[in-house]
Amino acid sequence: MALMINKKYNEQDQIWNLELSGEVDIYTVEKLKETFNKIIEEKKETIRIDANNLDYIDSTGLGVLIGAFKKLKIEEKTIIIYNIKPSIKKLLNITGLDKIFTIEG
């Protein structure tokens, strides 16, 4: 299964809205990495991820999120994730990343 990424910058709230659908693994992670690099280069603003259709993510994808978070943190921006599936929430919990990113819902 592939990974689909929908990105949109919200001028009013100065926030990136990112919608991820599908699976992030060693195969699809490059696409995620490219997207994050591109949008952070364009505007270093908080990234809000809708994970409603994100079925799967593993350490390769979490690594990209951590990398992006480190760049945003310098500017006091963050990563928000919402609509997370239980299996992914569990992964964020065991890795302690739920305390790093902002988890909504």
Partner 1 sequence: MVDVKEQINMNKKSNDVITLSVPNKPEYVSVIRLTVSGIANRMGFDIEEIEDIKVAISEACTNAITHGICEEENKFVVDFFTEEEKLTIYVYDNGKGCLSSNIKTPNIGELKEGGLGVFIIKSLMDDVEITSNNGKGTVIKMTKRVGDDV
Q: Which is nearer to partner 1, 7 or 31 (CB)?
A: 31
Judged by the rule CB under 8 A, the positions of this chain that interact with partner 1 are 1, 23, 25-27, 56, 58-60, 62-64, 66-67, 69-70, 86-87, 90-91, 94-97, 99-100
Q: Least distance from C-beta 103 to partner 1, angstroms?
A: 14
3-state secondary structure 38-67: HHHHHCCCCEEEEEEEEEEECHHHHHHHHH
Q: Least distance from C-beta 12 to partner 1, angstroms?
A: 30
Picking from 62, 64, 67, the residue whose alpha carbon sits closest to that of residue 97 is 62
